[in-house]
Structure 1
Amino acid sequence: MNAISKTDKKKDQPELHSEVKQDIRWSTLMRNHAYMHTCGICGKGFSQQCHLQRHQWIHMNEKPFVCDICDEAFSQKCHLQQHQRGHANEKPFACAIDGKAFAHNSNLLRHQQIHTNHADEKPFTCDICCKSFTQSGHLQQHQRIHTKPFVCDICDKAFSRKCRLKDHRRIHTNEKPFVCDICGKAFTLNSDLKRHQRIHTNEKPFTCDICGKSFTQSGHLQQHQRIYTKPLACDICDKAFSRKYLLQQHQRIHTNEKPFVCDICDKAFSRKRQLRQHQRIHTNEKPLLCDICDKSFSRKSHLQQHQRIHTNEKPFVCDICGKAFALNGDLNRHQRIHTNEKPFTCDICGKSFSQSGNLQQHQGIHTKPFVCAICDKAFARKYIFQRHQRMHTNEKPFVCDIHRSQGKSKPISGMNHMCTGHSCKSAK
């Protein structure tokens, strides 16, 4: 038995050796073949001629695969397919741990890092502002904020991302490729279409994880959440802010600093955004359009304020009494009731006011800007000035209700006739 088995082994050995040699030869051939199709521009090797051709489209900037919805072009078919999932809202890649779905496999892989032990590591650091990121792609994307390499060839406005430039160009071309399938309304941006569709669905996907309040837009949620976190305090009046730039803007109220100057009329502003908004007065530009009623606005804040008329949304909540407001300015004015803050001070007599309008009205006492052209008498308030002018013109725009009820319609110059021409009892 031993002799037979040894003989069999000897017979099998040449066959085994030949199989191993054949495997080695085949793997060597495949390894060599992998670099047979080489790009003449960058030297990258490919195993198949078709892969090389596809790669060379990158160098030639050739993009034969075009999206039939928005006309965006791609050099590879797989990139087109990934892009089209955005239109279809298709998310075939699901996380096996928490079930969250994604349109692209790369997004799933990035998401899965949350579940790993190294999720908190941020090895990629920006050498300009020292901000750190978990992925090199996020760092590259962030660094464009500092450079803004994509410039509009019409108005020279610069953007950190190519997609932002493409979106911006539609303002000039008035192109609206994104159409609501319910009402047929068209939009320049896909994000605008999604926001609009929530009007039909009444969807509020953005929920505060502290109080559970829901919002139709992520920006409204972010504004709401700042109620809970205000770490930056003004060293003059102790008012707290959620962001450093808001604190800096606020401090200019105390210093009256206005570093941003209009190059057309020399008007100065404490905020750069206010200057940009002001300059639209000269250009009459109103680029922001309401997606419900088509009314246009020169300022984003005015558009947002206007849209709350349609939604009846009140995202600004007083953290003391819980009262809600549609406008942030209304909330700020309301909060002065609790704080008794009076930041607007008259530079002549030192009297302080809680609202800028009240200060302007008060300052008229010192200046009396309304002067009668007939007798040169000056007035602090417009309505008193108008009442005075009726003495010269003998204008009597008001009719007594008691005289009217008696069949008379004698005009009177002022409303105090009710107490002087009749008894106060009869006037009531």
Structure 2
Amino acid sequence: MMSHTGEKPFQCELCNAAFPCKSDFRRHMMTHTGEKPFQCNLCNAAFSQKAHLKCHMMTHTGEKPFQCDLCDAAFLRKPSLKRHMMTHTGEKPFQCDLCNAAFPVMSELRRHKVTHTGEKPFQCDLCNAAFSQKSDLRRHFMTHTGEKPFQCDLCDAAFSQKNGLRHHMITHTGEKPFQCELCNSAFSKKCYLKHHVMAHIGEKPFQCELCNSAFSQKSVLKRHMMTHTGEKPFQCDVCNAAFSQKGYLKYHKMTHTGEKPFQCDLCSTAFSQECDLKRHMMTHTGEKPFQCEQCVAAFSLKSHLKRHMMTHTGEKPFNCNVCNAAFPRKSDLIHHMMTHTGEKPFNCNLCNAAFIRKSDLRQHMMTHTGEKPFQCDLCDAAFPQKGNLRKHMMTHTGEKPFHCDLCDTAFSQKSSLKRHMIIHTREKPL
């Protein structure tokens, strides 16, 4: 009857909680005492309530008695099925009174509200980290203990979180259940699909307060902010290199171990990063999906198109602080600075030659080996550099893209045009 009258005569002396039934009060007291009298006879788990033990036992038996009528999903508990049904109906009855967000369960609304208040009541005892949710603190604590209780059955990988293992398993199955409705792309995680869709609609809600950059993901903004602060918290324990992202450190470490786990199926080339393999595959397929809107140039990488566009705009945002030189790319500025310092970090181990760029050393090494990997399809000529082959091909095609502005003469090479211009400047001194 008290559930009808709202009367709650059983008051907790340790907190403000009150209950209509003595049994509810008794269960609540266990949250203070930590008492867990119901023990699992198959593992070390213990519970304060018999019902919780009953549900836990199903994790051993694999029993999932609550079946969804609309899909194959099955659950241990009825409330879990109830929540799942909302994914079919789209029902979100719990509305935030501070914004338009709505949620299928009250606990999600409660977690969401913390984003408005900024409250982080769960503090780590070992460092200064604080969290809005107890579960986040629990996961964080594993970074201190190194505990990874979720083990993959197919390889040696282990994870601190169950969903980490779940996502990892997709790397074995190749499953990509999240399909884009605007193109054929498919993804292993829902969050990847969400970010991908933003690329279609151009939405970039995360704005940098220090420059005009905007991003579709909060994590990318966070990484971008490090370009302003110069922060590089991930340190290599083999050398002095430091990185702004954990992933970069992981790839860097492979330069010490020599590990190259990503192998090309069409040739023997191997790579330390999957993205490098993906780019390499385009050399086999000839695919160049990134097209310039102002000329016929096409590129296999978006970053290459971006750099190319600067040849149209004339944009050179990276300025030398020693001379007036300016460059479209940061890497070009870095190499240019070495002409001032005299630094040549790439040394030939067969002679005394030293180079500013690794690519220059690689080309130089061919003078020792005699290697000429770039072969002409129309004659027997071969070259150590791709650029030399490109120039040679113009002798077959007759193409002369470099035109003199002062007369009708045209040349196949820029250097030839430069030499030709001396004729005009000598005749007509500037």
1:237-281, Cα deviation, whole Å (9 max, x unpaired): 99874358867987xxxxxxx8x7xxxxxxxx415xx62xx1333
Say which SS state the counterpart of residue 359 (structure 1) adopts.
Answer: helix
Q: Equivalent residue for 1:150?
A: 122
Higher relative contact order (CA 8 A, sep 6+): 1
Q: Equivalent residue for 1:76?
A: 49
The CA deviation at 1:360 is 1.1
Normalised to the residue count of structure 2, the TM-score between the two structures is: 0.53
**1:300 and 1:387, CA in 2 relative to 1: closer, same or farther beyond 3 A?**
closer
Asked whether the equivalents of residues 345 and 351 of structure 1 are also in contact (C-alpha less than 8 Å), the reply is yes
**1:113 and 1:230, CA in 2 relative to 1: closer, same or farther beyond 3 A?**
same
The CA deviation at 1:107 is 3.8
1:299-329, Cα deviation, whole Å (9 max, x unpaired): 045559989838957899x9x9536xxxxxx
Asked whether the equivalents of residues 232 and 242 of structure 1 are also in contact (C-alpha less than 8 Å), the reply is yes
**1:152 and 1:184, CA in 2 relative to 1: closer, same or farther beyond 3 A?**
same
Larger Rg: 1
**1:193 and 1:232, CA in 2 relative to 1: closer, same or farther beyond 3 A?**
closer
Question: Whole-Å Cα distance in 1 between the matches of residues 148 and 289 of structure 2?
Answer: 40
Question: Whole-Å Cα distance in 2 between the matches of residues 331 and 67 of structure 1?
Answer: 56
1:328-371, Cα deviation, whole Å (9 max, x unpaired): xx955223156337564224425222x32112112334xx2127
**1:63 maps onto 2:63 in alignment:** no
Query: Which of 234, 237, 240 lines up with 1:280 in the alignment?
Result: 234
Q: Equivalent residue for 1:299?
A: 246
**1:351 maps onto 2:326 in alignment:** yes
Normalised to the residue count of structure 1, the TM-score between the two structures is: 0.53
Say which SS state the counterpart of residue 199 (structure 2) adopts.
Answer: coil
**1:140 maps onto 2:110 in alignment:** yes
Q: Equivalent residue for 2:177?
A: 205
Asked whether the equivalents of residues 151 and 165 of structure 1 are also in contact (C-alpha less than 8 Å), the reply is yes
**1:215 maps onto 2:162 in alignment:** no
Say which SS state the counterpart of residue 270 (structure 1) adopts.
Answer: helix
**1:361 maps onto 2:324 in alignment:** no
**1:238 and 1:183, CA in 2 relative to 1: closer, same or farther beyond 3 A?**
closer
The CA deviation at 1:44 is 1.4
Q: Equivalent residue for 2:137?
A: 165
Asked whether the equivalents of residues 224 and 315 of structure 1 are also in contact (C-alpha less than 8 Å), the reply is no
The 5 A counterparts of 1:2-401 are: 38=10, 41=13, 42-46=17-21, 50-65=23-38, 74-82=47-55, 92-96=65-69, 101-113=74-86, 119=91, 123-126=95-98, 130=99, 132-134=101-103, 135-145=105-115, 146-183=118-155, 185-232=157-204, 241-243=215-217, 269-270=227-228, 275=231, 278-281=232-235, 299-300=246-247, 303=250, 309=262, 312=274, 322=289, 331-337=301-307, 339-340=309-310, 342=315, 344-347=317-320, 348-353=323-328, 355-365=329-339, 368-370=340-342, 387=353
Question: Whole-Å Cα distance in 2 between the matches of residues 337 and 150 of structure 1?
Answer: 46
Question: Whole-Å Cα distance in 2 between the matches of residues 166 and 115 of structure 1?
Answer: 31
Q: Equivalent residue for 1:17?
A: none
Question: Whole-Å Cα distance in 1 between the matches of residues 61 and 250 of structure 2?
Answer: 29
Question: Whole-Å Cα distance in 1 between the matches of residues 327 and 169 of structure 2?
Answer: 47
* Equivalent position amino acid for 1:109 in 2: K
Task: Out of 304-313 and 167-176, give the one that drifted further.
Answer: 304-313
Q: Equivalent residue for 1:4?
A: none
Say which SS state the counterpart of residue 233 (structure 2) adopts.
Answer: helix
Q: How many residues align?
A: 309
Say which SS state the counterpart of residue 192 (structure 1) adopts.
Answer: helix
Question: Whole-Å Cα distance in 2 between the matches of residues 97 and 298 of structure 1?
Answer: 42
**1:215 and 1:382, CA in 2 relative to 1: closer, same or farther beyond 3 A?**
same
**1:175 and 1:40, CA in 2 relative to 1: closer, same or farther beyond 3 A?**
closer
**1:304 and 1:245, CA in 2 relative to 1: closer, same or farther beyond 3 A?**
same
Q: What fraction of aligned residue pairs are identical, expressed as a percent?
A: 27
Question: Whole-Å Cα distance in 2 between the matches of residues 245 and 173 of structure 1?
Answer: 25
Asked whether the equivalents of residues 94 and 109 of structure 2 are also in contact (C-alpha less than 8 Å), the reply is no
RMSD of aligned Cα (Å):
5.3
**1:82 and 1:190, CA in 2 relative to 1: closer, same or farther beyond 3 A?**
same
Question: Whole-Å Cα distance in 2 between the matches of residues 220 and 66 of structure 1?
Answer: 41
Asked whether the equivalents of residues 65 and 73 of structure 1 are also in contact (C-alpha less than 8 Å), the reply is yes
**1:203 and 1:73, CA in 2 relative to 1: closer, same or farther beyond 3 A?**
farther
